[in-house]
Amino acid sequence: MAIVSVSNSFLTFNSPNQLRFNRRRGVSAMASSATGVRVAEGQGNLPKLILTSPQNSEAEIYLFGGCITSWKVASGKDLLFVRPDAVFNKIKPISGGIPHCFPQFGPGQIQQHGFGRNMDWSVLDSENSDGNAAVTLELKDGPYSRAMWDFGFQALFKVIVGADSLSTELKITNTDNKAFSFTTALHTYFRASSAEASVRGLKGCKTLNKDPDPKNPIEGKEDRDEVTFPGFLDCVYLDAPNELLLDNGLGDKIIIKNTNWSDAVLWNPHTQMEACYRDFVCVENAKLGDVKLEPGQSWTATQLLSIS
Ligand SMILES: O=P(O)(O)OC[C@H]1O[C@@H](O)[C@H](O)[C@@H](O)[C@@H]1O
């Protein structure tokens, strides 16, 4: 196991096989690590991690936002999507991939989707898990988060790249001496042909349709076996099952399994994002009912994406 720490843009790896990042030299490759995890310079000179499986599946994760921006399966296809208007300047969150919504899905008291996707996560650990590259990122409260949400917390996000799978585990711990509540989501942008894409598994779920007014969603019940994206769609599915099937309309069927992500959200902005709405759909694993944690308590949820 190799421990990696980040402080003020300074990455230090205690394994000689790892890569090193420092202010003077930027990101420099020392060698490919035995774990299949390396550091590279991403867009906007932001550091990113590249995880490679022995079968050549690959994921990229930006430390800014702890955001997985790319998941290439062994065939070389990237199943995630980053919007063309995404910026990599830390002024806005990265629009695409798998951004974190934490500690609020929104809308609500603080900025839409919370601050987890606007902060630098650090690398706590990198390892080889049964032959697969794995990293654990950490986010803790700081002055930026405290100004919006005055609680001590730790978020750990473990990512493992398998042959044709991408698995994540999010663990939120209350490190404060008072209780807090949060909502959260993995706001996954999948590459897709939105006109051909569909999601199976949601039939029977209670729905909260955020169209036309996100603050006053309309309650309903999903009665379709296959939900499609014919136009603008912004809909919450409560108590969704722990397995969904996304047909991305591009020839891929993606199984989305989870534990503890009790809800799901489907979103496509349609002509509100004329430049790209045809090229992606969001299928989000979410926890939309308040999770209350007493001091020292934790909440954990897992997501497993794989191709069928
Ligand atoms: O913040 P982003 O990545 O542009 O996504 C915004 C959308 O995110 C979705 O999760 C919400 O359901 C939408 O209401 C919202 O408009």
Q: What is the pLDDT of residues 106-124, one digit of tens each?
A: 989 999 999 999 999 999 9
Which ligand 1 atom is at minimum distance from the Cα of 95? 3
Query: 278-302 b/e with 16+ CB inside 10 Å = b?
Result: bbbbbbbbbbbeebebeeeeebebb
Q: Is the pLDDT of residue 29 over 60?
A: no
pLDDT band at 190 (very low <50, low <70, confident <90, very high): very high
Of 24-33, 180-189, 252-261, 266-275, the poorest mean pLDDT is in 24-33
CATH of the domain at 28: 2.70.98.10
- Report how far apart the first and last C-alpha atoms of the chain are (Å, whole number): 31
CA neighbor of 196 nearest in space, from 253, 261, 264, 137 = 253
Residue 131: what pLDDT? Answer: 87
Provide the 3-class DSSP secondary structure of residue 273.
helix
The set of protein residues with a Cβ atom below 6 angstroms from ligand 1 is: 95, 113, 187, 210, 214, 234, 265, 267, 284
Which ligand 1 atom is at minimum distance from the Cα of 185? 10
Q: Is the pLDDT of residue 14 over 90?
A: no
Residue 35: what pLDDT? Answer: 77
Burial of 160 (0-12, 13-18, 19+ CB in 10 A): buried
- Sign for the CA dihedral angle at 192, 197, 202, 204 comes to positive
Which ligand 1 atom is at minimum distance from the Cα of 113? 1
Question: What is the side-by-side strand order in the sheet with 47-52?
Answer: 37-41, 47-52, 58-62, 67-72
Residue 16: what pLDDT? Answer: 32
The ipTM is 0.94
The residue whose C-alpha atom lies closest to atom 2 belonging to ligand 1 is 95
182 in Cβ contact with 104 (< 8 Å): yes
pTM of the predicted model as reported, rounded to 2 decimal places? 0.91
> Which of 87, 98, 104, 112 for a ligand 1 pocket mutation test, highest count of atoms within 8 Å of Cβ?
112
Phi, psi for residue 84 in degrees, rounded to 5 = -65, -20
Range of the domain at 47: 4-307
Q: How many domains does the chain have?
A: 1
> Which of 282, 284, 285, 288 for a ligand 1 pocket mutation test, highest count of atoms within 8 Å of Cβ?
282
Question: What is the side-by-side strand order in the sheet with 10-13?
Answer: 4-7, 10-13, 20-22, 26-28
Provide the 3-class DSSP secondary structure of residue 233.
strand
Mean of the pLDDT values across residues 210-238? 96
